[in-house]
């Protein structure tokens, strides 16, 4: 078909927005996909992490540049 890959299928992510937002200064993440902070798991065991803003947000480092470098490494540029 001539289609070329443009993504790794998101297999290395939790959530796109979470992977981005948790890298901002003054964002804290509590809970996890398999840990519900109120002690009650969903029927399928899935719960979402909780983001909290603890102060003025600040972009202090590159975000997802490593993802781009990985993609460029595994995909041809032809």
Phi/psi for 69 (5° steps) reads -60, -40
Alpha-carbon distance 63 to 19, whole Å? 9
| Inter-residue contact 33 to 22 (CB < 8 Å) | no
Q: Model's pTM, two decimal places?
A: 0.57
Dump pLDDT digits (tens) for 8-40: 666 666 677 888 888 999 999 887 655 455 555
Dump pLDDT digits (tens) for 61-77: 998 888 788 878 877 76
Residue in the block written with tokens 């001539």: 2
Closest of 56, 63, 55 to residue 22, by C-alpha: 63
Alpha-carbon distance 49 to 61, whole Å? 22
Q: How many residues does the chain have?
A: 78
- For the chain, what are the domain ranges? 16-74
């Amino acid at each position: 078909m001539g289609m070329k890959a443009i993504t790794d299928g998101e297999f290395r992510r939790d959530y796109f927005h979470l992977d981005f937002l948790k890298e901002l200064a003054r964002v804290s993440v509590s809970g996890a996909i398999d840990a519900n902070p109120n002690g009650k798991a969903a029927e399928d065991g899935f719960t979402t992490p909780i983001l909290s803003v603890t102060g003025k947000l600040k972009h202090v480092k590159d975000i997802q540049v490593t993802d781009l470098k990985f993609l460029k490494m595994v995909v041809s540029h032809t």
